[in-house]
């Protein structure tokens, strides 16, 4: 897939920075909520409402993003795909689109920042959450079937930490990542901090049909103070 121009890439990076600021502040608000659902769809819905409130507040300060976040919308068709593809049936948890005015090709100007969300922590009889984070999350950014963030250089994952120590979670997640022959996820900056949201980095090489390399941003919010199932 063709690489974006330097000007278009800079415009995308600015959009990403704005999106990530909104997400991090919304996750902090989520952590502070008095009551939270324990299931993933319920958490995602609660996060969406936090995103809308935070973004409105930031826009009043000249920050934030001009387009709203959308929940469980299908991947949008791309001009490069001449016919309907399987990725158009897939539904990332959150997306935030914009029109890249630095792009010279109108078919490529509309872009969507893709975010997938997963629970993290101790396995239950139904779910092995830390493996699921990879198999039902990370992998969706590197396979043609899901094609999350297909035409963009980056995207994000949110991790809802509900139990276990963070180092142990990262160890289990990276064990699942390595089984997929993917690079491991690494802590950003100086490591775990006393903040609601931990930031981690991940650079992925993707198939030729997906824009590559791809930077997957990980944001893990500590919800261990809330009851979990």
CA distance 79 to 77: 7
Does pLDDT of 63 surpass 90?
yes
CA distance 113 to 15: 8
Distances (CA, A) of 171 to 40, 111, 164, 166, 168: 22, 33, 11, 9, 5
Does pLDDT of 2 surpass 80?
no
Q: Which of 28-37, 165-174, 192-201 has the lowest mean pLDDT?
A: 192-201
Q: Check residue 24 and give its pLDDT.
A: 97
From the CA atom positions of the chain, what is the Rg in Å?
17
Burial 207-216 (b: 16+ CB within 10 A, else e): eeebbeebeb
Q: Are 101 and 11 in contact (CB under 8 A)?
A: yes
- Report the chain's mean pLDDT, rounded to a whole number: 94
Instruction: pLDDT band for 62, please (50, 70, 90 cuts).
Output: very high
Instruction: pLDDT band for 174, please (50, 70, 90 cuts).
Output: very high
Instruction: pLDDT band for 18, please (50, 70, 90 cuts).
Output: very high
CB within 8 A of 8, min separation 6: which ones? 100, 102, 103
Q: Check residue 106 and give its pLDDT.
A: 86
**What percent of the chain has pLDDT above 70?**
100
């Amino acid at each position: 897939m063709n690489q974006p121009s330097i000007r278009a890439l800079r415009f995308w990076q600015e959009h990403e920075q704005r999106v990530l600021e909104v997400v991090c502040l919304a996750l902090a608000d989520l952590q502070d909520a008095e009551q939270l659902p324990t299931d993933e769809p319920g958490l995602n819905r609660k996060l969406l409402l936090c995103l809308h409130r935070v973004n409105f507040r930031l826009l009043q300060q000249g920050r934030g993003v001009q387009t709203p976040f959308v929940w469980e919308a299908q991947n949008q068709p791309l001009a490069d795909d001449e016919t309907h593809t399987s990725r158009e049936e897939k539904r990332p948890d959150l997306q935030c689109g914009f029109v890249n005015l630095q792009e010279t090709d109108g078919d490529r100007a509309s872009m969507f920042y893709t975010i997938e969300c997963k629970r993290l922590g101790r396995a239950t009889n139904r779910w092995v959450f830390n493996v699921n984070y990879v198999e039902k999350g990370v992998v969706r950014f590197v396979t043609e079937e899901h094609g999350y963030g297909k035409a963009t250089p980056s995207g994000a994952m949110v991790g809802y930490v509900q139990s276990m120590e963070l180092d142990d979670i990262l160890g289990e997640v990276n064990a699942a990542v390595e089984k997929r022959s993917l690079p491991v996820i690494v802590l950003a900056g100086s490591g775990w901090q006393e903040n609601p949201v931990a930031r981690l980095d991940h650079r992925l090489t993707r198939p030729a049909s997906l824009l590559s390399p791809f930077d997957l941003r990980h944001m893990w919010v500590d919800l261990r103070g809330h009851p979990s199932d």
